[in-house]
Structure 1
Amino acid sequence: MTQTTLHYTVEVASLHAHLYRIRLTIPVPAAQQVVSLPVWIPGSYLVREFAKNLQHLQAQQHGKACAISQQDKCTWAINCDADAPLSLTYEVYALDNSVRTAWLDASRGFFNGTSLCLRVHGQEQQTHHLQVMPVVSQATWQVATGLHPVKVNKQGFGTYSAADYDELVDCPVEMGTFWRGEFTACGVHHQFVVAGALPSFDTARLLADTQKICETEIQFWHGAKGSLQDTPHKRYVFMLNAVDDGFGGLEHRNSTALICGRRDLPRVGEPQTSEGYTTLLGLISHEYFHTWNVKQLRPFELARYDYSQENYTPLLWFFEGFTSYYDDLLLRRAGLIVDAVYFKLLNKTINQVMQTPGRQVQTVAQSSFDAWVKYYRQDENTPNATVSYYTKGALVALCLDLTLRASRVATLDDVMRGLWQRCKAGPMQEADVLTVLQELTGRSWKKKIKAWVHSTAELPLRALLTAQGLKVHDDEAQMAQRLGLRAVDGAAGVQIKVVLRGGAAERAGLVSGDEWLGLEVGARGQGGSWRLNKLDELKVLLGTEKKLTAWVSRDKRLLRLPLSLPPKSVTWRLSVPADRKAGQWPGV
C-alpha cells in the first residue's frame, strides 16, 4: 500500500441493529478535507439520499478529535491539517433488501460502496483499499465481490483493491453462508453465488445455463473466437439473493447483483423450464449484456459520474432499451428458449407498449431524460403520461433490426459491434449511432431515428413483422383493457389501481383507489344488482348488455357511476406460420 492509498475498513457493529461500522484512513488529507456520500447509484436513476443512513461521523488526527461541519445533505468538511493521516469513523444503517443499497442481519450482509464509502474530494483517482473484517459470531460466512483481492483468507475476508473511487463503488460485496459455483466462458472465469435458495435448487443447471448466456454474449461482441484477451472483464461475479417475493438486478463493471423469488430457481428433477426461471435467465442475460452496453459503451453525459446530483441523459432508450431487446433474443440464440417462447416474450413487450396511453404523450428520448422524476417515481398516472424506455426502447431496436435485415446490407448486431469499435471504454452520443448506421448502409437514418425516438408516432411494427412472415392477430382484449383500467381482485371488491386515459372507466368517473363493490345491470338496473369480486365476472353478469351502474366506495362514501362498455378492444398476438421452420426468424 502506497502512502496515498485510501483505506476503508468495514466491520459489523451490530447484526440485530443492522449497523456497519466504517473506518476511513486518509494518509494525506487536504487542510480542510471534504468528504461526501453519493446520493444515487449508477444504473438506478433516482436520488436515494444514502446519507440518511449515516450516523456518528467522527474524525481524528494527531490522536485528537477534529471539528466536522456539514455542508449540505451529504457533504462534510473536516477541520484538519495536511501533515498527518486523518481517520474517520461512522456507522451506516442497512436494512434495504434490494440490489441498490445495503443489508445486514444475522443471515446475510450485502452492500454497495455508494451506501458505505465516503468519497474523499480531490483524491478520487487514488488507489482505494477495502478491508472486510470477519464477523466473529458468524464463523461460516464467506465474502464474494468483483474487487481485486490483495490479502484475503479462504473465506474471502481481508483486503481488496480498487484503482479509483469509481471502481470501489462499482463492485458490491456479498457476505453470508451462500452457495458458490464457478465456470469458464471463452476463457473468462465466472463465479455465481446464491443466498437464500431452497434445498431443491438445481445448481448444476443454473451454472450450465448461465455459461451458455455468457459464451453467447462474449461471442456476440467479439466474434466466434472471442476470448479473455477481448473482453473488458477478466473475471465476473453473479450475486443472487433468493427471497420469497422479489425481482430485479443492477449491473456493475465485472459483477451484477440480482434478486429473484426462490421458486423461480430451477429445481432438481424438474427438467422443464418454468416461466419464472425463463424470466430469471432473461435478467441474467440483461445484466451481463450491460457489461458492454452501459458499463463500457456509456452515455456521453455519464462519462464521469457526478455522485452529488442527478446525471441526465436522453439515451437510456438505447442503453436499457436495446439491452432489453437483446436479453431474450440472446436466450434464443443460446438455445435456452424455443421460438414459441421467444415470440411470447416479444408479444408481451409489444402489448405493454400498445396498452400504455403515455406512448402518445412522451417520446422515448424524453422518457430517458425524465427517468429521475417519472420512471422511478411511478404513481397511478404514470401509464397515462409516460412510456418505458425499456419496453419502447426494445421495440425501437426491433424496428431498426428488422429494417436493416430487410435491406440485406447489415443487422443491428453489426451496429452494436460497430459502436463498440468506435466508442468502447468511452462516451457515446446519438450522433455515433447515426454515423455507424450510415457507414454500414451508405444512407442517412436521421428521419427514422427522429420518428421512432423523438416523436410519439406509432412504430411500424405490424408492417415489419408481417414482412418477415409473422402473422399479427387482433384478439379480443380482457375486460380490464376494454374498460381502460388496471385493478386487483379482492374479497372486499375490485381495487382500482390505474384509470387509463380516454377509456370507459375514466368517462364513468372511476378513480384510482376506488373499491368497486357491485353493479346494477342495464341502464335502469333491469338486469338485477350484483356483488363484484372479480373484474372478469362482468362478462358473465352483463351477457349482451352494454350498460351498467357501478357501485363504488370512495373515502367511505358510496357512489353510483353509470358506465357504458365500449366496442371490443384488441390485443396483439403473434404467430408463426405452420410451414416455417424453427430458427428462421431473423437474428436467431
Structure 2
Amino acid sequence: MPKSTVSLLLALAWPLAFGAGARAQSPVRYALSFPNAVHHEAQVQVTFTDLPAEKPLQVHMARSSPGRYALHEFAKNIYEVRATDAQGRALPLAHPDPYSWTVTGHGGTVQFSYTLYGDRTDGTYAGIDAQHAHLNIPATLAYADGLEQRPAEVRFALPPGWQVATQLQPTATAGVYTAPHLQYLMDSPTSLGPQKMRSWQEQGKTIELAVLHTGTDAELDAYADQTKKIVKEAAAIFGGLPDYDFGRYTFVANYLPQASGDGMEHRNSTSVTNARPLSKEGALGNLSTVSHEFFHGWNVERIRPRDLEPFRFDRANMSSCLWFAEGFTQYYGDLLMRRSGALTNEQFAANDLSGLVNAMLNAPGAKRFSPVHMSQQAPFVDAAAAIDPNNRSNTYLSYYLIGGANALALDLELRQRFKTDLDAFMREVWQQHGKPQRDYAPARPYTLADLQRILGKTARDTAFAGQFFRQHIQGHTLPNFTALLAPAGMVVRKAHAGRASLGVSRLQFVNNQLTVGSGTLLGDPLYVAGLDRGDQLLKLDGKALKDQKAFEKLLGKHKPGDVVQVEVRSRGQVRTLPVTLQEDEELEVVLTEKTGQQPTPEQLAFRAAWLDAKAK
C-alpha cells in the first residue's frame, strides 16, 4: 500500500479509534527534543488548552509508574520549570509540594516546559544519551488535574538516524503519536534511536521486535526466531492472542552496554532492557525476560486485579494479588522457555524448578506469612529505596517466588488429582476477567474471591479450592514438592548431602574479614548462636579465617551436628562462641535419570503432557 494511502487511513482512523469523546476534547500536546542528549537531558514542553480561565491549573509529575508499586518521585529529575501563556508571557508559578506546580492567570492556555535529566535505561526511569533515549512515560511527561480523559499528542524532534518504537498510535505526521487518554499514555514506554526491526504476523496480529543493540543482524534474526516460538506457546495457553488495541504488539528492547537489567509489562508492548548481548547465554537470559513480559499481555495487563484498577500516579499502589499477577507469570515465563525449546527438561529442573523449591522451602518468611501478605509488601520492596536495615530476610519472600512456587504446586496437583491443569484455570480466568475490555482497560477486574471461585470450577471441587486458598494463599502452608514432582519423574534432594554448614546466612570476606553480610536467618547456626549483620568471624577451631579457601578447608573437616568454637567480633566485642553446624540445606530438583534410576512410562507421559510444546 502506498505510504500516502497509509497516512490518510491513519489520519481518518485515529478519531474513530479513540471515540467521539476524545474528538470533542482538545488534546494535551507534548513536544520533546534532545539538544543536550550527550549529557542526558531532554527538553519537554506540554501545552494545555481550552482551560477554564478563572481556575488555576494543577500540574504534576508522577510519583509511581504502572508495573511498579513503590514511590519513585520522578519530579526529582526535572528542573528549569517554566509556564507561559498562549502569547509566550511568563505566568505565576507556585510549587506547593515536591511534585506539583500551580499555574494561575493563564487565560485558558498554559505552555509548561522543563528540562528532564535521565541516565538510567530501564523500565522505570528515563535513559538519555547520544546513542538513544529510552523513556518510561511517568518519569518523562507531566500531567494536569482534570484532564485525565483528554487524548494526548506526543511530538518527537528526533536526532538524525533515530526512529521511534512505542505502543502509541502513529499519525499521518512523522514523529507525532497519540494516546486516547492519560492512563494509556503513561502505560506507553518509548524507545528512540537507530532501531533494528523484526516484524511478523501471528494469528492476524503484528508482532514486532524494535531493538537497539551492538550485535549482528544474524544474532537478532536468531533471537527473533526464538521469540516467535515464545509467542506461539503463550497464545496456545489462552487459545489465541489478545485483541491488541491497534493490531500490534511491540517488544521495545534496548540491549546496550549502558542499560540496566529490567523488564516492564505494558498493554500492547513491553520494555526490556539489559547490558547482555544477543549472543550465547546473553540471548538466553534476555529471552527469559521476553517470555515473562509477554505473558503479562494477558496476566496483569488485561487480567487485572481490582485493587490496581485504575492505577494511581500520585501514590503507591498496593495489591493483595501480586502472587498471581507476578508469581504465576514467573512460573509461566519459565514454563514457556521449556515448551518453546529454549530450555531442556534438565535445564528447566536444575535452574527454574530448583530455584522455586529452594526459595519456598528454605526462606523463613514463607513459613511465617502468606502470599497475600507478601503481595502487600510490594510498596516497600519493589525497587523502593530506604537506608535503614530491615528484617526481610526473616519475614519476606518475593511475591514472584512465593507465587511461582504455588503456581507450580497447583499445576501439579490439578494434573494429578483432577485431570486438568493450570492452563485450563488460566483460560477460564481469561474468559471471565481478561477478554472483556472497555476503554483500553479490563471491564471486569478480579478479586481473590473470583480466583477461588474459578479454581473451584476448573477442578470441579469447590471444597478443594477453598482449602487451597485458606492454606496456601491466605495462609502459609508449604507444598510437598517431593510428592508433587514424583509423578513427573523428578526428585527433590539435598544438593550437598552430608556437608557441614553454618547455614544460608550470607557470609562474605570484606577487607579480609569474614563478615555476616545481612541479618542471619531464623534457625541458622549463626542466628542460634546470637550473631547478626556486620558481625565478623575471626577464628574457627582456633585457626584464623584469612580467606575463603581457608574457611572452606576448616569447615570441611566437620560433619553436621559438630559443635565448633568460633571467635567473633560483634559490635566491638571479641568473644568465642560454640556453634552447632547443620547439614547444607540447599535443595535441587533433578530428573529421575540423573539419580541412576529410570522413569516409568507413566512418569514420562506426565512429564510430556506438562512440559512439551502445545503450539501447533
**Shorter-chain TM-score above 0.5:** yes
Could you tell me which of 157, 160, 169 is aligned with 1:148? 169
> C-alpha offsets along residues 326-376 of structure 1, whole Å, 9 cap, x if unaligned?
111122222222211111211121102222111123211011011102454
Aligned residue identity for 2:552: E
Could you tell me which of 401, 409, 415 is aligned with 1:399? 409
Q: Say whether the 8 Å CA contact 2:64–2:312 is kept in structure 1.
A: no
Higher helix content, 1 or 2: 2
| Secondary structure at 2:122 match in 1 | coil
| Secondary structure at 1:570 match in 2 | coil
Equivalent residue, structure 1, for 2:290 = 284
Give how far 1:32 is off: 1.5
2:397 matched to 1:387? yes
> C-alpha offsets along residues 412-465 of structure 1, whole Å, 9 cap, x if unaligned?
111111111111223111111122122233321112111001112222323222
Give how far 1:261 is off: 3.6
* CA distance in 2: counterparts of 1:201 and 1:559, whole angstroms: 60
CA spacing shift, 1:202–1:28, aligned 2, 3 Å: same
* CA distance in 2: counterparts of 1:249 and 1:554, whole angstroms: 40
Q: Say whether the 8 Å CA contact 2:469–2:475 is kept in structure 1.
A: no
Aligned residue identity for 1:339: N
* CA distance in 1: counterparts of 2:397 and 2:135, whole angstroms: 31
Q: Say whether the 8 Å CA contact 1:520–1:529 is kept in structure 2.
A: yes
Equivalent residue, structure 2, for 1:537 = 552
> C-alpha offsets along residues 276-309 of structure 1, whole Å, 9 cap, x if unaligned?
5433222111100001111111110111111111
Worse-superposed segment, 187-196 or 14-23: 187-196
Task: Describe how 1:192-207 pairs up with structure 2 within 5 A.
Answer: 192-199=209-216, 202-207=219-224
2:20 matched to 1:10? no
Give how far 1:399 is off: 1.9
Give how far 1:558 is off: 7.3
2:315 matched to 1:301? no
CA spacing shift, 1:460–1:529, aligned 2, 3 Å: closer
Give how far 1:561 is off: 4.1
> C-alpha offsets along residues 451-508 of structure 1, whole Å, 9 cap, x if unaligned?
0011122223232222444322234369796424113356724343222122111233
> C-alpha offsets along residues 384-405 of structure 1, whole Å, 9 cap, x if unaligned?
1112111110111122212221
2:454 matched to 1:429? no
Equivalent residue, structure 1, for 2:77 = 53
Q: TM-score with structure 1 length normalisation?
A: 0.88
Equivalent residue, structure 2, for 1:510 = 531
* CA distance in 2: counterparts of 1:535 and 1:177, whole angstroms: 52
CA spacing shift, 1:480–1:362, aligned 2, 3 Å: farther
Q: Say whether the 8 Å CA contact 1:509–1:561 is kept in structure 2.
A: no
Q: Say whether the 8 Å CA contact 1:38–1:49 is kept in structure 2.
A: yes
- Count, aligned residues: 561
* CA distance in 1: counterparts of 2:348 and 2:309, whole angstroms: 34
> C-alpha offsets along residues 228-282 of structure 1, whole Å, 9 cap, x if unaligned?
8x5566212212232558422111111111122425x325xxxxxx3x5433222
Aligned residue identity for 2:368: V
Aligned residue identity for 2:508: V
* CA distance in 1: counterparts of 2:305 and 2:260, whole angstroms: 29
Give how far 1:183 is off: 2.7
Could you tell me which of 279, 288, 296 is aligned with 1:266? 279
Worse-superposed segment, 339-348 or 55-64: 55-64
Equivalent residue, structure 1, for 2:470 = 450
Task: Describe how 1:543-554 pairs up with structure 2 within 5 A.
Answer: 543=558, 546-550=562-566, 552=568
* CA distance in 2: counterparts of 1:449 and 1:535, whole angstroms: 48
CA spacing shift, 1:123–1:530, aligned 2, 3 Å: closer
* CA distance in 2: counterparts of 1:47 and 1:147, whole angstroms: 25
Identity of aligned residues (%): 25
CA spacing shift, 1:285–1:558, aligned 2, 3 Å: same
Q: Say whether the 8 Å CA contact 1:519–1:548 is kept in structure 2.
A: no
| Secondary structure at 1:320 match in 2 | helix
Give how far 1:94 is off: 0.9
Equivalent residue, structure 2, for 1:270 = none
Highest relative contact order (Cα 8 Å, sep 6+), 1 or 2? 2
Equivalent residue, structure 1, for 2:376 = 369
Unpaired runs of at least 5, structure 1:
268-273
Worse-superposed segment, 575-584 or 89-98: 575-584
Aligned residue identity for 1:143: V
| Secondary structure at 1:140 match in 2 | coil
2:108 matched to 1:80? no
Q: Say whether the 8 Å CA contact 1:515–1:554 is kept in structure 2.
A: yes
* CA distance in 2: counterparts of 1:515 and 1:246, whole angstroms: 33
Worse-superposed segment, 183-192 or 533-542: 533-542
Equivalent residue, structure 1, for 2:254 = 241
Give how far 1:541 is off: 5.8
| Secondary structure at 1:286 match in 2 | helix
2:423 matched to 1:413? yes
Give how far 1:543 is off: 4.5
Give how far 1:513 is off: 3.1
* CA distance in 2: counterparts of 1:473 and 1:337, whole angstroms: 21
Worse-superposed segment, 488-497 or 94-103: 488-497
Could you tell me which of 77, 86, 96 is aligned with 1:71? 96
2:57 matched to 1:33? yes
Equivalent residue, structure 1, for 2:459 = 441
* CA distance in 2: counterparts of 1:478 and 1:72, whole angstroms: 59
2:114 matched to 1:107? no
* CA distance in 2: counterparts of 1:149 and 1:179, whole angstroms: 18
Give how far 1:560 is off: 4.2
Worse-superposed segment, 336-345 or 71-80: 71-80
Equivalent residue, structure 2, for 1:312 = 318
CA spacing shift, 1:540–1:436, aligned 2, 3 Å: closer
Aligned residue identity for 2:94: S
* CA distance in 1: counterparts of 2:260 and 2:95, whole angstroms: 37
Output the aligned Cα RMSD: 2.7
Equivalent residue, structure 2, for 1:127 = 151
CA spacing shift, 1:482–1:11, aligned 2, 3 Å: same
Higher strand content, 1 or 2: 1
Equivalent residue, structure 2, for 1:460 = 480
Unpaired runs of at least 5, structure 2:
1-14, 16-22, 435-441, 593-597, 612-616
* CA distance in 2: counterparts of 1:237 and 1:414, whole angstroms: 27
Could you tell me which of 354, 358, 361 is aligned with 2:365? 358
* CA distance in 2: counterparts of 1:472 and 1:213, whole angstroms: 28
* CA distance in 2: counterparts of 1:531 and 1:237, whole angstroms: 52
